[in-house]
Structure 1
Amino acid sequence: MSLPPRLSQPAYPVLLGGTPEPGHGWVHWPRSSALLREPYDVLALKARLDHDRATREDHADPRLVGRVARSTDAQAQAALSLARTAQPVWARVPLERRLDLVRAFHHLLRDRAEEFVEVLVSEGHPVRVAQWALSAALSLTHPDTVDHARDAMLWEGKQAGRLVRLVRKPDGVVCLSPARNAPVLTAMAAVPTLAAGNALILNAPPAVPLSTAYVFHELVAPLLAEYGAPPGTLSVLCAPARPTLRTWLASPDCDDIFFFGGPSQGAQLTRACLEYGKKPIMELAGNDALVVWRDADLHQAADAAMERYQGSGQLCFAPKFTLVHPAVAEQFTELVRSRALRLRVGPPEDPDIVLTPVVKRSQCQDVLDDAVAKGAELLCGGELVDVTDTPTRRGPFIRPVLLRVRGLPEAATMRAVTEETFFPLMCVIVPDGAPGAAGTEEAIDRELLDALIAFVNANPYGLRNSLWAQDLDVIHRFTDEVTNGGVLKVNDSHIGTLPVLPIIGGTGFSGGVFGEANIPFLRTTRLQGVSIGTGEPGHFDHLAAAGIRQASGPPSTAVRPHERSGAAAHERHAP
């Protein structure tokens, strides 16, 4: 698979307020498959290009797929000033017009889907992972998602002779720092953020900038101009995250910091945001649970568990551990093990590949050793291999790891279960029944379900959790009582996305103290209530306005809430 000629070695400058500007040097991106086959030669080529020591032949090397300009601190400062000026002008564009921009982006992305996937593959995402990222981006911008946002952002009705409006107003200037492991997908939160009426500054991570630059230079920026956004509404930088975050914190022209990263860094940044008067929107880490009940469709549940290995487990909301009913544990575990053994490594262009090079290889071995020392059984995997699946101590890949742990108390002591593990390691946990339970199978299962729900809710992380079961009582208890997580999935792909359903957001270490399911339209706006009097008498009769008849005097002319027609009580208005 190769990039279309039009995208051959594109050069993306700094986008400053919608205007291309030269930066301070370039970040060059080699084709990932070439880097895997010839790591030393390709890294040397990249170093010569990035440090301006390259020959003419280096610049023409077919292993290169593009370059992105490095932005300067002065450009970061200028982007903030331009955004502050542009934002109120952009916010005055009618909401429906701004929402149309998201609809147009959705259709444009569908039209250029093959091109989008190929850019991600050249950046190192396997084809299947890139296609999943495409589906998530399309869900985020789907017309049904936009319709839900419109209803959530504006409500109008009449109360006691007044027009009452509940409206969400944009926060102002939002600065977004995407995740390095999934830069373009996390950067996609910028599209609904812009449609909500905010100006946006996006910092493409220099470690992996190409796909983010592609989407916002080629797709988003032209649409903004077409839909009437003033210059300054969007800037795209490419600079190290830490100094850029410091610039945003210190600037009076930054209102929100939308950050993807680790829990400890997110906690520090949250404190700094509050100190500097910024709104923190934190998307941090995941340690998701997948629960398999005795009546689950085990083959589909095993497929969901295998999503752990997408991108070698380097996705925040992949399932990290599975809690399996003892009655089906052996069969389920064997299904997962047999599938894991069939996974192989290879270049990202191969459509059967889901594994990628692992960044935290040494940490994987540490976590694996810790689990085995505490009683976990290693069922397969853990070897370092190269792109040809040949074992080598310097191999960038790890063969998929599957562990089995017997007992919830034992599992709670293992790093493989209690920490976010960013590598291809799945832990299957088999409870020892319900301690103290006696009597019927139904009574034992009831206590076991209590224990599993308590285990899920005790997880300090809270991104996604999922369940496989047929018993409606079990399903209702899971969806009613599991409070941990921004998204719950039942009998469905754990990492799959849907229109309207939030893609990101969570509780605890996953989203910080303000964490919840993240709909960017809502997270980057604030609710305002508006009451508009019509000039009718009685507007200062507060009891009457509340629908309360006073003990003396003339009866109130206010219509009691329960007496209004359903149509009036639920009136909606689309601007």
Structure 2
Amino acid sequence: MTERAIVAGVPVDTRHWIGGRRVASPGTFTTTSPVTRTALAEMSRGTALEAEAAVAAARAAFPGWAATGRAERARILHAVADGVEQRLEDLAAVETHDNGALLRSHRRGVMPRVAHNFRFFAEWLLTLGRDDFATRGHTNHISWDPAGPCVLITPWNAPLMLASWKIAPALAAGNTVVLKPAEWSPLTASLLADIAAGAGVPPGVLNVVQGYGEDLGRALVSHPGVRRISFTGSVPTARRIAAAAAPNLTPLSLELGGKSPLLVFADADLGLAADLAVEQYDNAGQVCLAATRLLVEESVAGEFTRLFTERAERLRPGDPREPGTDLGPVVDARQLERIDGFVRRALAAGARAVIGGGPGTGDSGTGESGLHYRPTLLTDVAQESEIVQEEVFGPVLTLQTFTTEEEAVGLANGTRFGLAATLVTGDRARAARVAAQLVAGTVWVNCFFVRDLRAPFGGSRDSGTGREGGGWSFDFHCDVKNTVTAPKGWRDHG
């Protein structure tokens, strides 16, 4: 196999990064661009052998990194952020080719957020602590001890941003890391390994191994030397990870899917509500937080639908590298077929497509690659139907109506998920009342996707376990310890 691929003019190493050096595997897998429908690279395909090597490297590096002072760890994380900023254009171009998301989004938001993730947790590390407190004259002192090697498994929809969201707190806490990126979008993880090495991350502290879940992933999450596992992805995969980790009692942080609601009350600013609803088509709907279930008060459903349709029909599909494109392709032909399968079954069951309802034209004149799916809104859907209950992970929304606040809350909470919810209303009392009843890790009121790294992030029910962000990330990545000291028993040595 060749050791490097050229993607958007950027050299990308196709080998693993283990113990501070590049390691090739006998087997490979192909990563293909959804933009051009062509192969981008033949990546080394890791197996249990590479999993063992990466965990061994992380274990060997752990004592030294754990003993590294907070200030030095923070300095190195800031240096990683510097490296990300210096290579922002390369990272944005490569990731757009690899997963099909908009280049302008990568440039303006995603890659700057990657750098911010490293800077945020570097700064939080320097302030981590709580005041000592007394118990009957005894002193309680809380400390955060590094836990050990961490396995971090990331999805394909926002590869580098979600990887940095996991890597930064793990390294800040003093842990070492084995990162397994998604096989559909592994390229920027390889570039990050180069950036980290250039920033002074010691060998073995960050390892990157590429491959499939059934061999590489299983070997990593079942390894007895791993002390933390953080995973973002599907519920079925999370169940397999939990089963594999259970014999070792390895703590898990799981951020899984969602089927989030967007509630629109009659007293809402309907223009704002329509804008927020159309925003759910971002990244071709491939966003776990997307509010894909529009729940609209019956008396304003007609006007809301009109405003929504006007806005949605102005979205421009095309080549995600072009600045005028609003909707890029979905990540893979299998994903396109999965999305279309959901829609076809819903239509067969009696749903009606207000807009969309199928794949794009594939017209090269519009810049479509053949992997575009038309923004779709389905009505006449039953609460118990598959299209309402299951995560589609594409540009497909449903619309249901309600007549009372109680009915709205019941519909909103009527799935097995609980990742997020969005609420649009002009009544402050209603906003507080309804938000308190929604089952969700995050509730947005008259806004969407406002994220602060100081806030907890995670899901309820089948949307996951645990919370990360700010101190919650350190609580997960550390063994939190209380040292209780008595006031007596000391020898006075003068």
Aligned amino acid, residue 212 of structure 1: A
Instruction: Give yes or no for contact 2:211–2:217 (8 Å, CA) kept in 1.
Output: no
Shift of 1:506: 0.8
1:164 is matched with which residue: 136, 140, 144? 140
TM-score normalised by the chain length of structure 1: 0.75
| Partner Cα distance (1:158, 1:210) in 2 | 48
Instruction: Say whether 1:258 aligns with 2:217.
Output: no
Aligned amino acid, residue 430 of structure 1: T
Instruction: Give yes or no for contact 2:268–2:425 (8 Å, CA) kept in 1.
Output: yes
1:127 is matched with which residue: 91, 103, 111? 103
Aligned amino acid, residue 118 of structure 1: A
Instruction: Say whether 1:497 aligns with 2:474.
Output: no
| Partner Cα distance (1:161, 1:108) in 2 | 49
User: Any residues of structure 2 matched to 1:219-234 within 5 Å, and which?
Assistant: 219-225=195-201, 229=202, 231-234=203-206
User: Any residues of structure 2 matched to 1:292-331 within 5 Å, and which?
Assistant: 292-331=264-303
Aligned amino acid, residue 173 of structure 1: P
1:487 paired residue number: 442
| Partner Cα distance (1:374, 1:488) in 2 | 31
Residues 366, 235 of structure 1: CA spacing in aligned structure 2 closer, same or farther, 3 A cutoff? Answer: closer
Instruction: Say whether 1:425 aligns with 2:418.
Output: no
| Partner Cα distance (1:105, 1:532) in 2 | 39
TM-score normalised by the chain length of structure 2: 0.86
Shift of 1:464: 1.4
1:210-234 deviation line (CA, Å, top 9, x unaligned): 112112x232233343xxx4x3212
Aligned amino acid, residue 423 of structure 1: G
User: Any residues of structure 2 matched to 1:192-211 within 5 Å, and which?
Assistant: 192-211=169-188
Residues 236, 243 of structure 1: CA spacing in aligned structure 2 closer, same or farther, 3 A cutoff? Answer: same
| Partner Cα distance (2:213, 2:229) in 1 | 12
Larger deviation: 203-212 or 190-199?
A: 203-212
Instruction: Give yes or no for contact 1:257–1:278 (8 Å, CA) kept in 2.
Output: yes
1:143-167 deviation line (CA, Å, top 9, x unaligned): 3x6555655x421324155442222
Instruction: Say whether 1:353 aligns with 2:307.
Output: no
1:509 is matched with which residue: 462, 466, 476? 462
| Partner Cα distance (1:375, 1:68) in 2 | 44
Residues 7, 385 of structure 1: CA spacing in aligned structure 2 closer, same or farther, 3 A cutoff? Answer: closer
Instruction: Say whether 1:532 aligns with 2:485.
Output: yes
Unaligned ranges ≥5, structure 1: 36-41, 47-63, 434-447, 538-575
Instruction: Say whether 1:291 aligns with 2:263.
Output: yes
Shift of 1:473: 0.4
Superposed CA RMSD in Å reads 3.0
User: Any residues of structure 2 matched to 1:76-475 within 5 Å, and which?
Assistant: 76-123=51-98, 124-130=100-106, 131-134=108-111, 136-138=113-115, 140-143=117-120, 147-148=123-124, 151=127, 153-159=128-134, 161-188=137-164, 189-215=166-192, 217-225=193-201, 229=202, 231-351=203-323, 352-357=325-330, 359-388=334-363, 395-405=370-380, 411-431=382-402, 433=403, 448-475=404-431
Residues 77, 421 of structure 1: CA spacing in aligned structure 2 closer, same or farther, 3 A cutoff? Answer: same
Q: Which structure is larger by alpha-carbon Rg, 1 or 2?
A: 1
Aligned amino acid, residue 192 of structure 1: P
Shift of 1:298: 2.3
Instruction: Give yes or no for contact 1:29–1:67 (8 Å, CA) kept in 2.
Output: yes
Aligned amino acid, residue 179 of structure 2: L
Shift of 1:239: 1.8
1:75-128 deviation line (CA, Å, top 9, x unaligned): 321221221122122112223432344444344434443332222222222224
Q: SS at the partner of 1:295?
A: coil
Instruction: Give yes or no for contact 1:126–1:356 (8 Å, CA) kept in 2.
Output: no
| Partner Cα distance (1:237, 1:320) in 2 | 33
Shift of 1:255: 1.7
Unaligned ranges ≥5, structure 2: none
Percent of residue pairs bearing the same amino acid type: 25
| Partner Cα distance (2:481, 2:423) in 1 | 37
Q: SS at the partner of 2:463?
A: coil
Shift of 1:72: 4.8
